Structure 1
């Protein structure tokens, strides 16, 4: 596990810049560093040593030195790959996974990615062809940012690496900002900065003498297969999960697991315990507020498998943590579960270097209640076009002009949901801020700049282009392309790597995902019950009581915090001269939101999004005025 960064240029790279790009992400790799430099390319990395600790340094080279690579992640089938490469005549100097990349490239070119089973982001430089290949794993476990000006290309595991280049213009992309306020994260391929992009999951980028091309190499096939015996499917699921867990337990450093008490993380802990000769270390986060505390569920699993169990209670004493998170995340990120995620990573790192997680179980097997809602929504009778238009318009007005949690808002959302087509229904379910709410808060300049931009189109286009045959399959495609890599996996990657901890996710094994994608809808969601087959499959592994608890997620008492201990921080940060001077939002509307929330209405999500955006500005931009321009929202540059 590492952090990577680099620069390739027809005009010659800047090796010292690449060193700075690596230094700023030292938290991703505190165990070592490595660099390569020639007349066109400078590549660097920071290493967190987990496999082949003794000889696994990077960069790695082909026998003749023509091909060089830096790599972030883990290749779980590296032993099979090494055997095949040796059989084909390659000479490998190390015992780990990284060196496989350069030899696979010699055999398969850019198609090498199809042979990799794991999580990865890598850069590979072919010196003779003057070709750079950037690739990202199928699901998006490992991040990769890049930018190019036609002569040069820069890349890095984190955006802060690219920020080290004083030549990079730090102008906020208004479209990315618009999407962020809708979804609480900046979705790929955008980044918060104009001119900087994320490589989407399952894609390869090729830069050759200044020209950039892309290719998507993986997509789930959701064509349902015939199921003759559901019990056989349960047994096959257990086999796949055991194997996906087993190959992720390979490590020369201490290993453990996050244990939330949910079915997914509990199943992973069970699969670990059944295949390990040692006591499993488990880690859990709780809250003083009982509505959000699920430690009792985690203890049930920990007791069953006699794990070495550790807990930490999150409080609202976050004044020091929030600025740190804003710096670590590089982009505004408003999923408040980043807070407990950071703490469980910090707790785990005191004991282990690798932690397995339950991420991906919901997206594979239909675990969210919104899936059940969408699965049943097709039964809503169609409305005449005129009536549907009126219902949608009235519903929008009611929901946008009512406080969160109010009966008027629920009625408005229901009216809009019933009137809209499935693609827009799901876009609405995934939105934390509606178009009208954004327009209300935007300054005149920002509103004019974004008048033709519709964030809902992002989800609508993926939904409509999905080859899945049902609405449930289409929303699973949407989440696999957006929410999973843009929110959940970003949260886990940043919070774990900030603590020099590697996270591995058995449910995101692409073999398991491809098998799960072919399951009929009725084995995922049936009669309002979610994750049907998974619950049946792991029932023999888990306490029976655990299977019947309602899903809570990893929520925090955000609304209460913003009325209590974080009230002063939120008010001061969002209303002072620095925030007002950016020219992004209407100060009177921001103050009104704050006051209405203090008075009892729940505007926690919207206020948290605004707070995280402003904290990001202060962590990544020098003090000064940020104003909306025709090109974008200008962020002053901070000296390197």
Structure 2
């Protein structure tokens, strides 16, 4: 796991400068504290910068790495789990290796397969390849978007890096807020690729690569080498599917145990992370180290279940408790995420990563289990809404009116969930599902925006993007919702959260459930077998404690709603209601005041919108982009 950065000359007068390359790489030392390296093309056309977190081949795995004659150079962030098989294949074709690193395998695979090499890789990666003879740079990201890559064309050069801060550190690089991306953020709690909060910046989408020649005036559009499959339906029995699941899960996890440094696992006490720990134990990992995060608020605390699992498998288990004093980490997160990011579980993710890094360098996680095995409660909501959709319209209207009267002052209560569900029953399916995952509803934003800010926007553009994803997903209500999450929430929220929070403390996280072959198998199963993780729970019946298998889904949340009514109320008001803040530039002051007032008075629970505004304000004060 590492940080990468680079520059490509797009004009004869804009040659690559070594100092600029080193400056970019220096901003990424948290991603790679163990080593640094640079490559500069002899003609000044391309430069590659690298910061290394040593995981494999500790002695000779440094980058940038080239082929035998120095005509191809590579830097990459991530891990390739099938590199040994690919190496053997390439050796049979006559390629010779001088290291044991997975990075060298990519170099030789590119020599043989060109841009077809990316589809052969199993793992997580952001890659940059400089082909000196062709004068071409290739950038690529892994299928699900586990590893980030952002770029900017400016002043005759293309700049790229793992994180935007490496580009923003350069003198003369514009730092200007894109109003349309701010609008996207307020709807989704993230800015989806290819967009960026900074005007002119772009993020390479998952499963895509970009090929650009030195001297080319503009960057072309990325090309897709992979997309989420719609596999042929599984044609075996339920018991046969469980047998296949044993094989695929075990293989996926075993590949992710390859490391020359200590490793452990995040353990929430949920079924996904518990399965990861159970399989690590079955595969003989010793010592088996596990790490959990907890809260004083019992509605959010899962540590009791994590302890049960840890005791079951004899793990060396450690816990960390997050309190409202977490305010001290907000500016740190605002700096690390580069963009406003409104998933409040970034706080516990950062803290558990920090605790974990004191003991290991690699941590396995249960991320992706809810997507592969349809575990989110909102999938059942989508199924129920589809069934209710055939009823007369007046019933939906009556349900929506009834929902408005339900108590909804606290999060994670039956009233708040029922209100969120019923309020969207009259919406079309895509808007309906969006209403269950968004931060602000479109109606709230339309009411709250200042007229001068609203005039800058294509208001319906992000909504149309989401509707296109939903329409392209195919299948019934559950399948559509599930596939939309795979290409939106998963890469732009969940995986972004984990990558940035873990790499902030130089910890590598690996996700066995997001093995692309395992995911393809899961998607081939009937949705009824997957919904609520049915097949996964029954598969694990003899493996996990019953208390874990039968518990309800909690999710990795944070009690910010109560914090905003208590210890963090002053922080909230000082930021969100500040007359000179970004929130007051975007929203009407009376509307902001009412939003805060409704929440602190417990008339309704608005913790998610308020958290999004707080993090927007902290991001803006940290990075100070021109508005």
Classify the TM-score, shorter chain.
over 0.9
1:114-263 aligned within 5 A:
114-149=119-154, 151-208=156-213, 209-210=215-216, 211-263=219-271
Cα distance in structure 1, aligned partners of 2:419 and 2:457: 25
Q: Determine if the alignment matches structure 1 residue 481 to structure 2 residue 484.
A: no
1:619 to 608, 619, 622: 622
Do the aligned partners of 2:130 and 2:136 also contact (CA within 8 Å) in 1?
A: yes
Cα distance in structure 2, aligned partners of 1:192 and 1:582: 18
* Corresponding residue for residue 456 of structure 2: 449
Deviations 1:542-582 (A, max 9, x none): 00121110100111111111111111111112223431696
Do the aligned partners of 1:398 and 1:411 also contact (CA within 8 Å) in 2?
A: no
Secondary structure, in 3 states, of the residue corresponding to 1:359? Answer: coil
Do the aligned partners of 2:76 and 2:126 also contact (CA within 8 Å) in 1?
A: yes
Secondary structure, in 3 states, of the residue corresponding to 2:517? Answer: helix
1:568-579 aligned within 5 A:
568-579=570-581
Distance 1:351 1:187, change over 3 A: same
Deviations 1:195-233 (A, max 9, x none): 111111101111124242421111232345244321121
In terms of mean alpha carbon deviation, does 376-385 or 268-277 score higher?
Answer: 376-385
2:470 to 441, 463, 480: 463
Instruction: Using the TM superposition, give the Cα deviation of residue 415 of structure 1 relative to its aligned residue in structure 2, in angstroms.
Output: 5.4
1:337 to 334, 339, 345: 345
Do the aligned partners of 1:597 and 1:603 also contact (CA within 8 Å) in 2?
A: yes
* Corresponding residue for residue 8 of structure 1: 8
Distance 1:103 1:414, change over 3 A: closer
Cα distance in structure 2, aligned partners of 1:61 and 1:336: 41
* Corresponding residue for residue 365 of structure 2: 357
Instruction: Using the TM superposition, give the Cα deviation of residue 377 of structure 1 relative to its aligned residue in structure 2, in angstroms.
Output: 2.7
Cα distance in structure 2, aligned partners of 1:112 and 1:214: 16
Distance 1:545 1:586, change over 3 A: same
Distance 1:475 1:584, change over 3 A: same
* Corresponding residue for residue 82 of structure 1: 87
Cα distance in structure 2, aligned partners of 1:123 and 1:257: 29
Cα distance in structure 1, aligned partners of 2:133 and 2:422: 62
Q: Determine if the alignment matches structure 1 residue 513 to structure 2 residue 519.
A: yes
* Corresponding residue for residue 57 of structure 2: 52
* Corresponding residue for residue 591 of structure 2: 589
* Corresponding residue for residue 628 of structure 1: none
Distance 1:384 1:560, change over 3 A: closer
Deviations 1:83-131 (A, max 9, x none): 1111111121111101112111111111100110100001101111111
Cα distance in structure 2, aligned partners of 1:149 and 1:19: 18
* Corresponding residue for residue 608 of structure 2: 605
Instruction: Using the TM superposition, give the Cα deviation of residue 418 of structure 1 relative to its aligned residue in structure 2, in angstroms.
Output: 2.8
Instruction: Using the TM superposition, give the Cα deviation of residue 588 of structure 1 relative to its aligned residue in structure 2, in angstroms.
Output: 2.2
Do the aligned partners of 1:396 and 1:413 also contact (CA within 8 Å) in 2?
A: no
Instruction: Using the TM superposition, give the Cα deviation of residue 319 of structure 1 relative to its aligned residue in structure 2, in angstroms.
Output: 2.8
Q: Determine if the alignment matches structure 1 residue 559 to structure 2 residue 561.
A: yes
Deviations 1:590-625 (A, max 9, x none): 122222222123221111110000100111117xxx
* Corresponding residue for residue 333 of structure 2: 325
Cα distance in structure 2, aligned partners of 1:377 and 1:595: 32
Do the aligned partners of 2:354 and 2:502 also contact (CA within 8 Å) in 1?
A: yes
In terms of mean alpha carbon deviation, does 280-289 or 537-546 score higher?
Answer: 537-546
Do the aligned partners of 1:398 and 1:409 also contact (CA within 8 Å) in 2?
A: no
Secondary structure, in 3 states, of the residue corresponding to 1:171? Answer: coil
Instruction: Using the TM superposition, give the Cα deviation of residue 455 of structure 1 relative to its aligned residue in structure 2, in angstroms.
Output: 2.8
2:114 to 96, 109, 114: 109
Instruction: Using the TM superposition, give the Cα deviation of residue 37 of structure 1 relative to its aligned residue in structure 2, in angstroms.
Output: 0.7
Q: Determine if the alignment matches structure 1 residue 370 to structure 2 residue 373.
A: no
* Corresponding residue for residue 22 of structure 2: 19
Do the aligned partners of 1:392 and 1:419 also contact (CA within 8 Å) in 2?
A: no
> Which portions of structure 1, spanning 4 or more consecutive aligned residues, are displaced by more than 4 angstroms?
390-399, 402-416
Q: Determine if the alignment matches structure 1 residue 490 to structure 2 residue 496.
A: yes
Do the aligned partners of 1:222 and 1:473 also contact (CA within 8 Å) in 2?
A: no
* Corresponding residue for residue 631 of structure 1: none
The alignment yields a C-alpha RMSD, in angstroms, of 2.5
Instruction: Using the TM superposition, give the Cα deviation of residue 396 of structure 1 relative to its aligned residue in structure 2, in angstroms.
Output: 13
Do the aligned partners of 2:381 and 2:421 also contact (CA within 8 Å) in 1?
A: no
Could you tell me the TM-score, scaled by structure 2's length? Answer: 0.94
Report the number of matched residues: 617
Cα distance in structure 2, aligned partners of 1:514 and 1:458: 24
1:531 to 522, 530, 533: 533
Do the aligned partners of 2:73 and 2:130 also contact (CA within 8 Å) in 1?
A: yes
* Corresponding residue for residue 506 of structure 2: 500
Instruction: Using the TM superposition, give the Cα deviation of residue 452 of structure 1 relative to its aligned residue in structure 2, in angstroms.
Output: 3.6
Do the aligned partners of 1:224 and 1:517 also contact (CA within 8 Å) in 2?
A: no
Cα distance in structure 1, aligned partners of 2:551 and 2:621: 41
Cα distance in structure 2, aligned partners of 1:256 and 1:580: 41
